[in-house]
Structure 1
Amino acid sequence: MSHPIELLKTRRSVKPREMNGPGPSPAELETILTVGARVPDHGKLAPWRFIVFEGDGRVRAGEVIANVFARKEPQAPPDKIDAEKRRLMDAPLVIAVISLMRPHPKIPAWEQELSAGASAMNIITAATALGYGANWLTGWFAYDRDALDGLGLKADERLAGFIHIGTPSRHIEDRPRPALADIVTRF
C-alpha cells in the first residue's frame, strides 16, 4: 500500500452508478464503522450513529423513499416513482450517518454536527483505504421528515449523509481541485 498521505492526497468520490459488487466483507464493514467512530468528539458525547443498508435493506429503504415521494407528488409518473425506489441500489453498501445533538452546557450543537461530518469523512477514507469507491450524498429524502421517520430516525435526529460504498466499475478521473492560493490566507 502507498503511504497514507498519498491516499489522502488522491482520494476522490466515485458515483454510485459507477460502483458494483463486491462491497465490503463483514470484517471490513466493522473496520469501516470502527474508523467512523474514531473522530474528534469533544466531551465524548458520540453525537452520531450509523444505519447500515445492504442487501434487502436497500430495497426496503427504497420502498420507504418511493412511498413518501408518491404521497407528496401524486401526479408523478410510475417511472419517477421507480427511480426513487432505486435511490440506494447502485452501491452494494450504504451507511447513513445520523447526527444527534446531545444537550451539553459546554459543547454547542455546531461542534457535535462537525463531529458527525468528521465521522462521515472517516468512513469514506476507511472505505477508500480498503480499496473501495465511496461517495457522500444526501438528496431530498435526507431532509424530508416523513422519509427520515420511515428510515428509523428519531424526531431529534438529522441525516448527515448517505455514504455509498462499492467496487469502482472503471478508473475514476480526478476533478479540478481549488488552488491553495485561492483558499489559504495567513493571519
Structure 2
Amino acid sequence: MNALDALLNRVSVTRLLAPAPTQAQRQVMFQAALRAPDHAQLRPWRFLCIEEQARERLGELYAQALQTEQPEATGEQLDKVRAMPLRAPLLVVVIASPKEHPKVPRMEQLLSAGCAAHGLLLAAHAQGVGAVWRTGEMAYSPVVAQGLGLTAGEEILGFIYLGTPEGKLRTAPLLEQSDFVSDWPA
C-alpha cells in the first residue's frame, strides 16, 4: 500500500480478532511511530505492549481503578471494565513522556507523542492490521497510570487495540475540505 492510500483510507477497526500482528508487523509499526515530528529529538513517548494473559491483568487493574474512583460501582460495571482489554489480541499503551527542555514546551511534546501513535496506526493499516485508538476514563485514571508504571509527568494518551479485522473494513468518509480549510485573511 502506498503512503497516500494509507493516509486517505485509514479507518478505525473496532471488531478485532486473533491473531495479533506478527513481530515483523510490529517492528514496522514501531519504526513508523518513531518517525514522528520531534523538536530537539527528545523522543517524548514510550509504548507498552499488552497481550495474552496480561490483558486479563489489565482488566483487573481497570476494575481496581473503577472501585477506587466509584466505590458504588456494580458488579456489572466491574465486569464490563474487566472485559475491555479483551476486545483485541494486542493493546499498545501510548505514553507521553515529556522531558524538561528550555525550547520545547510540554504541549509540543504531547503532540509529538500523538503523532507517534498516529504513525503506528497508519503503519498498521498499511499492513492490513486492524487498529483503533481508544481513550475513555481508564486512560485518565491515576490508578491505571500507577499500575502500568508511569512516572511523574507521564500520561497515557490512549490504548491502541490491534488485531485481525473481523469482516470487511468500512469506507473512510469523504469530508468536504472547505468545512475545515480557509484562507487568512478571509
Q: Report the TM-score when normalising by structure 1.
A: 0.93
SS of match in other structure, 1:89: helix
> Structure 2: how far apart are the matches of 1:68 and 1:3?
42
Q: Report the Cα distance in structure 1 between the residues aligned to 2:153 and 2:84, rounded to whole angstroms.
A: 24
In the alignment, does 2:4 pair up with 1:5? yes
Q: Once superposed, what is the RMSD of the aligned Cα atoms?
A: 1.4
Deviation sequence 1:3-60 (CA, Å, 0-9, x none): 3212211111111xx1101111122212211211121111010000001111111111
SS of the equivalent of 1:52 reads: strand
Alpha-carbon distance between aligned partners in 2 of 1:124 and 1:142, rounded to the nearest angstrom? 18
Q: Which residue of 2 aligns with 1:38?
A: 35
Give structure 1 stretches of 5+ with no counterpart.
none
State how many pairs are aligned.
184
Aligned to 2:13: 14
Calculate percent identity across the aligned residue pairs. 36
The reply on whether 1:120 has 2:117 as its aligned counterpart is: yes
**1:43 is matched by which residue type in structure 2?**
A
Could you say which residue in structure 2 is the equivalent of 1:96?
Answer: 93
- How far residue 74 of structure 1 moved from its aligned partner, in angstroms, is 2.5
Cα distance between partner residues in 1 of 2:9 and 2:183: 25
TM-score for both structures, normalised by structure 2? 0.93
Q: Which runs of 5+ in 2 are unaligned?
A: none
After TM superposition, list the pairs within 5 Å mapping 1:75-94 onto structure 2. Answer: 75-94=72-91
Deviations 1:84-134 (A, max 9, x none): 111211111111110022111111112111100100000101111111111
1:52 is matched with which residue? Answer: 49
